[in-house]
Structure 1
């Protein structure tokens, strides 16, 4: 029973943690996408960026991927990048993306090489999906745990954009 309480406390801490403690300075991330392109977060300055950690085995991730695609398609100043740190081959990842197409680039990134602002684990536990919102200056302003709907994403981005 104490172990279960400890796990629940860790989950609660993860849910209550604020991304403002994650990024005091502009975040950086440079990855090669499954399409053999590149994505450089610094090159996105002036736009809002959604950084989404997902996994092929995560049902909530699969549900939110079309929502993220629709959101970036309808918001000209918002871009997204999907990241996974799964230990799968590049071919398997490419095949997955072909079977589950999205309207934003997808890349594989080792947890070891991931900047602190975008760690896909919290308090030693892997969590998926995790979505980060990066402001036009490159700072992480919000971390969202769990699947995200179009309406929730729109509300969060709208709240952040307001002066």
Structure 2
């Protein structure tokens, strides 16, 4: 019996749909699909749309239990990423975040924030060879950030202006992001 192209396409479609109902297959498929979105660079906020972060008073906690105030980042170029280990778009954009971090970690303050527990964070970081430091909020997110979904990433200049405000996966290792950071550092 010969299978027509239409039947073959229908079979493939049904297999893909069925995989969404198998819990172990769902996340890898979603991550794969999100990697397509993560190829796009985030856009730069226009001057008239830029918001300014005025309140840096926010407590965060690292793995060792040290609490520090976000105020320590005031006057610096900061990239803040709100993410989670279970989030397919977050997982999709992390390789580009790591590449950017590798090149700018001594020039830009990277703040990776999650509400996940370190028992989930550490295996995730190790499995993927991510070397950036992750912190957890010690108190509720400041209303200013308005985190409705993740990933949510902000690039903030030395004066507190939000240059990039991106909801969803993006390519953070793009020429646009690198050129923007280089400009902010000069």
Q: TM class, shorter-chain normalised?
A: 0.5 to 0.7
2:170, 2:150 → 1: CA distance?
Answer: 11
Q: Is the 8 A contact 2:125 2:131 kept in 1?
A: no
| Number of equivalent positions | 138
The answer for the alignment partner of 1:142 in structure 2 is: 164
TM-score by length of 2: 0.59
TM-score by length of 1: 0.65
1:37, 1:73 → 2: CA distance?
Answer: 24
Structure 1 or 2: larger strand share?
1
- Cα distance change of structure 1 residues 113 and 144 upon mapping to structure 2, 3 Å threshold: same
**1:1-150 to 2 correspondences below 5 Å:** 20-21=50-51, 23=52, 25-75=54-104, 76-86=106-116, 89-109=117-137, 113-121=140-148, 127-149=149-171, 150=173
1:154, 1:43 → 2: CA distance?
Answer: 23
2:98, 2:53 → 1: CA distance?
Answer: 28
Query: Equivalent residue of 1:113, what SS?
Result: coil
Give 5+ residue unaligned stretches, structure 2: 1-42
Q: Is the 8 A contact 2:77 2:185 kept in 1?
A: no
Q: CA deviation at 1:81?
A: 1.2
Corresponding position: 1:154 with 2:178 = yes
1:58, 1:72 → 2: CA distance?
Answer: 20
Give 5+ residue unaligned stretches, structure 1: 1-14, 122-126
Cα RMSD, aligned residues only: 3.1
